[in-house]
Structure 1
Amino acid sequence: MQLKELFDDDNAVSPVIGVILMVAITVILAAVIATFVLGLGEQISSTAPQASFSFDYNDTSDNLTVTHTSGETLDNATVTFKNSNTTNSNVVYGGTGEEISAGDSVKITNVTQSAGDEVKVIWKEPSGDKSATLATWP
């Protein structure tokens, strides 16, 4: 047997690479199918909207103005402004449209900064399964 002939023989390389590629393709395909069969694909697409809010507190009248400054337009029915320290804790946007877009604002009354009141802008998914806090004051 020639030693030089042993090093130049590449016959077994192609089948090994082919088998490795087939196994990798099978694993990736199985992962993609499992994601959609188990319903994980739906959960990924349902995320909270990205929106920014600013807060302007007036200490003489104990009013807090919450303004949507930028980000996605929100459906009025999915957003609640919650004041932690009042009996009427849920304030719904009182604008003219059914959407809250950049520049729209709502005034929340009976907010006392010295009493430690906390106001949250809460988004709730229309189906009611998920919710997220978009902004918090202070």
Structure 2
Amino acid sequence: MTGFDSSRAVSPVIGVILMVAITVLLAATAATFFMGFEGSLSGTPTVAIEGEFAVDSGGHELTVEFTGGDVLARENVKVHVASAGCRGAGSVTDRYGLSELGVSGSTVAAGSQAQVTVGTVCPPAASQLDLSRTAVTVSWVESGSGSGTVLYRWRGPAA
């Protein structure tokens, strides 16, 4: 005999095979886990929205600007204005489509701006808009289902 023992080479080969099998098993488990979230994440839009509050001769104004993210169908985005004070016409709480707030076109993308002003949310008899105690919520409503997601919330300085 030459002193060569062939049984010693089997142990490292089995170790490598086991490590590869464990790696494949972990990768398959992770892929299954993350693929399960695909359906729940794909339907919800991701957008960046900023609100700019200003005071002018018509009272308060809020400009809601879409600054980035997914392009949305305009009819799927709603703006809820709660407790807006309209001088000469009382308090207003209502839901508006973006077309009512000055957004033109069929889609909403970065650069689109909605205006919450005395002219867009108050009755014609109102002279000024008070947003100090107002809450404004921008929501995306899925077509045909009625369910949706809040995209942005703004609260007045005294709300």
TM-score (norm 1): 0.69
User: How do 1:7-22 residues align onto structure 2 when only pairs under 5 Å count?
Assistant: 9-22=8-21
Whether the 8 Å contact between 1:68 and 1:100 is mirrored in structure 2 is no
Residue 78 of structure 1 is matched in structure 2 by 76
Whether the 8 Å contact between 1:68 and 1:101 is mirrored in structure 2 is no
Note if 1:131 corresponds to 2:149: yes
Structure 1 unmatched runs, 5+ = none
Aligned with 2:25: secondary structure?
A: helix
Give the AA of the match of 2:79. F
Aligned with 1:47: secondary structure?
A: coil
How far the C-alpha of 1:64 sits from its partner, in A, is: 2.4
How far the C-alpha of 1:121 sits from its partner, in A, is: 1.8
Query: Which of 115, 127, 134 is matched with 1:107 structurally?
Result: 115
For 2:9 and 2:20, locate their aligned partners in 1 and report how far apart those are by CA, in whole Å.
Answer: 18
Cα 1:63/1:113, change in 2 over 3 Å = closer
Residue 44 of structure 1 is matched in structure 2 by 41
Q: Mean Cα displacement is larger for which, 83-92 or 50-59?
A: 50-59
Percent sequence identity over aligned pairs: 15
How far the C-alpha of 1:69 sits from its partner, in A, is: 4.8
Whether the 8 Å contact between 2:80 and 2:136 is mirrored in structure 1 is yes
Aligned with 1:122: secondary structure?
A: strand
Note if 1:93 corresponds to 2:98: yes
Cα deviations across residues 75-126 of structure 1 (Å, max 9, x unaligned)? Answer: 2112111112154421111233111233333332355233x11112222333
For 2:64 and 2:34, locate their aligned partners in 1 and report how far apart those are by CA, in whole Å.
Answer: 39
For 1:40 and 1:69, locate their aligned partners in 2 and report how far apart those are by CA, in whole Å.
Answer: 26
Whether the 8 Å contact between 2:47 and 2:151 is mirrored in structure 1 is no
Cα 1:91/1:57, change in 2 over 3 Å = farther
Cα 1:62/1:74, change in 2 over 3 Å = farther
RMSD between aligned alpha carbons?
3.0
Paired positions, count = 129
Q: Which has the higher strand share?
A: 2
Whether the 8 Å contact between 1:55 and 1:137 is mirrored in structure 2 is no
For 1:24 and 1:46, locate their aligned partners in 2 and report how far apart those are by CA, in whole Å.
Answer: 32
How far the C-alpha of 1:18 sits from its partner, in A, is: 0.5
Structure 2 unmatched runs, 5+ = 84-90, 123-128
